[in-house]
Structure 1
Amino acid sequence: MSRRELDAAGITDPALRAAYLRCRVLNATHGRTYFLATRLLAPHQRPAVHALYGFARWVDDLVDEPGPDATPEVVSGCVDRAERLLAAGLARDGADGEPVVRALVHTVDRYDIDPALFSAFLRSMRMDLDVRAYATRADLQTYTYGSARVIGLQMLPVLGAVTDLATAAPYAELLGEAFQLTNFLRDVAEDLDRGRVYLPADELAASGVDRERLLWCRGRGAADAAVRGAVADQVARTWAVTREAARGIPMLRPESRPCIATALALYSGILGRIEAMDHDVFAGRATVGTGRKLRVAAPAFARAWWLRRNARSVHEGQAA
């Protein structure tokens, strides 16, 4: 299947094909919900999405999974190297030694993606090296612009739009942010273990919650009433972003809509799961089960197949 995708995208160079396949493996291994949604895209779109995901995952792992002996200085040096490789690739001055970067550079060129979006992403990744909390939502949004909103903007040229891209761009940003905020809520315990809190401190304080209270709940494996109330507030705020992001789906090209609608439905399922757990994010990781994923994805697969089949019929009719 992956080779068919590369053929559909017109990618024939063996080294470049291997680079894209590496990105696809990263997506399939680490972003299973996201990967499932990409299966709804046309085959020629999928390699570019894998490249965008692959680069983001590669850099994220440099920061979050550096190894037991890596110092902050070493990790910072790794991020600096990633930035240099990307700059060299975009300048046609190397980067062939890193497959993820090679695939990304090809995707950036093919879809005319603004390189500044990747600079913003790398800035946010560097924030993870020394920023452990965010006082306000405005502070958090400085981080999520680079970690999430730019991901939506990177994706938009690949997905295409029936409006001009500038009109669809704010909704693409919100979509990235909705996914990121949902991940923050799902991963409160895991992030605490890394010394980070991605929920605005002033909003937590309104419910009587601070880092120490979160750590106490983490230690006992259960959220108390105050923490559940704070999480409920954060879930409500994330639902608001999710609903606003959904308004942009009709702006996308028809063949891209099933993918994004399915991704949004699956991430919404995580929010629903947190609600079903009475907002106790320390009782277990809120996930969407395989059965639920398949029930959500199956109608979208049928619609995506029909859209691609109809598009081929129209093209063949015009050619005749």
Structure 2
Amino acid sequence: MSGIVTATPHASPPVLAAYSYCEAVTGQQAGNFSYGIRLLPAAKRRAMSALYAFSRRVDDIGDGPLDAESKRLRLEDARTTLERIRAGEVDEDDTDPVAVALAHAVRRFPIPIGGLDELIDGVQMDVRGQTYETWEDLAGYCRCVAGAIGRLSLGVFGTVPGAREAARAPEYADTLGLALQLTNILRDLREDAEGGRTYLPAEDLAKFGCSAGFASPRPPAGADFTGLVQHEVRRARALFAEGTRLLPMLDRRSGACVAAMAGIYRRLLERIAEDPAAVLRGRVSLPGREKAFVAVRGLSGYDARSVHRQTARGRA
């Protein structure tokens, strides 16, 4: 996948207004994601904001207060929007700014929009309350809700001409998405448990005596909770090590964007590794100034090298 696009449709004032709406949504809600995409040139930043705004809409349906049947119908509405975009039925006069921006982005960049159908599939798993017996089962879910986002983003980034292993770029983008999602799952362990959700594989929970769940700020009695978290941390480190092989395939600013996001999540993972029980006491996070520092380092290229060194050590 090269960074060259086949068409450059003109961004009319209504389209630019739709992009501005998506950028506002991204700035208000994207958290860690926003630190990376700020490093992109305008056209790529707008396209990434359109992808984020649509993904946020889908995630909010899954996390919202509606009953399961209402969520299912809303998710089908989102899928219909994708079908309309694929059919070329969304123009600048459409009343949905997210659809307008996403339709323009899909014409501007070779975005594999089917990845957003995968995201909807993943959120439908959440609505059904699906649980996962093995890591392979959980990885299938993570590929829907995060790996697909990596592959969609690669459609915006492109790869530099002559990049080694360029054919494997979608695989690496997918794997990096898994690393980020597993880090999210560890961070949100208590919050998800309070919402009735369990993501970690049942076989891992049983192995470490944690099948009782995490409704308390303390580990289950007799459980090796630290062992469980360290087990998942090692798995996430290996995924980071594999996924960050994508970085040399990207241009400087796209690479900086990915390095910033990977660097933020990798720091978050290491913070969890240092104090596993912290995830039961509340959500572990990084201060804004630290995220901004990682983003600046990503633009300089320094943090990309740092991510490579850290992930290589994690894989060793």
**TM-score grouping bracket, smaller chain normalisation:** 0.7 to 0.9
**Match of residue 125, structure 1, among 112, 120, 123:** 123
Which of 241, 244, 247 is the aligned partner of 1:246? 244
Partner of 1:28: 27
Q: Say whether the 8 Å CA contact 2:35–2:292 is kept in structure 1.
A: no
CA distance in 2, matches of 1:97, 1:145: 31
How far the C-alpha of 1:239 sits from its partner, in A, is 1.0
Matched, 1:180 2:181: yes
Q: 1:13 Cα shift?
A: 1.8
Contact preservation (8 Å) 2:252, 2:299: no
Larger radius of gyration: 1
The answer on whether the counterparts of 2:110 and 2:156 sit within 8 Å (CA) in structure 1 is no
Q: In terms of mean alpha carbon deviation, does 109-118 or 228-237 score higher?
A: 109-118
Supply the distance in 2 between the matched residues of 1:284 and 1:182 (Cα, whole angstroms): 15
Structure-2 residue corresponding to 1:307: none
Q: Which residue of 1 aligns with 2:82?
A: 86
The gaps in structure 2 that reach 5 residues or longer are: 1-7, 303-316
- AA matched with 1:19: A
Equivalent position of 1:203 in the other structure? 204
After TM superposition, the structure 1 = structure 2 runs for residues 203-242 of structure 1, keeping only pairs within 5 Å, are 203-210=204-211, 212-215=212-215, 218=216, 221-223=217-219, 226-242=224-240
Deviations, residues 140-170 of structure 1 (Å, cap 9, x unaligned): 1221121111111111121121237532111
The letter for the 1-side match of 2:189 is: V
Q: Give the letter for the 1:102 counterpart.
A: V
- Aligned partner of 2:241: which letter? R
- Give the Cα–Cα distance (whole angstroms) in 1 for the partners of residues 70 and 250 of structure 2: 41
Q: Distance in 2 between matches of 1:114 and 1:159?
A: 12
State whether residues 148 and 177 of structure 1, in contact with CA within 8 Å, keep that contact through their aligned partners in structure 2: yes
Q: Structure 1: which 5+ runs fail to align?
A: 1-8, 305-320
CA deviations 1:257-309 (Å, max 9, x no partner) are: 111111111101111111232443112211111232233223334559xxxxx
Aligned match of 1:37? 36
Larger RCO (alpha carbons 8 Å, 6+ apart): 2
Give 2:55's aligned residue: 56
Deviation at 1:43, TM superposition (A): 2.3
SS at match of 2:214: helix
Q: Percent identity?
A: 33
Q: Once the two structures are superposed, what CA deviation does each residue of 1:9-67 show, in whole Å capped at 9, x if it has no partner?
A: 976322212221221122112212110111111222100111111111111001102x3
TM superposition outliers: structure 1 runs of 4+ over 4 Å: none
User: 1:214, 1:227 within 8 Å by CA — same for their partners in 2?
Assistant: no
2:190 equivalent to 1:189: yes
Judge which range, 128-137 or 87-96, deviates more.
87-96
Q: Is the contact made by 1:178 and 1:242 (CA closer than 8 Å) also made in structure 2?
A: yes
TM-score, reference length from structure 2: 0.85
Conserved? CA contact 1:41–1:255, under 8 Å:
yes
Contact 2:15 2:101 (C-alpha < 8 Å) held by counterparts: yes
Residues 256 and 93 (structure 1), Cα distance of their counterparts in 2 relative to 1, 3 Å cut: closer
- Aligned positions, number: 288
Where 1:223 maps in the other structure, the secondary structure is coil
For normalisation by structure 1, the TM-score amounts to 0.84
* CA distance in structure 2 between the aligned counterparts of 1:295 and 1:100, rounded to whole angstroms: 30
Contact 1:223 1:283 in 2 (8 A): no
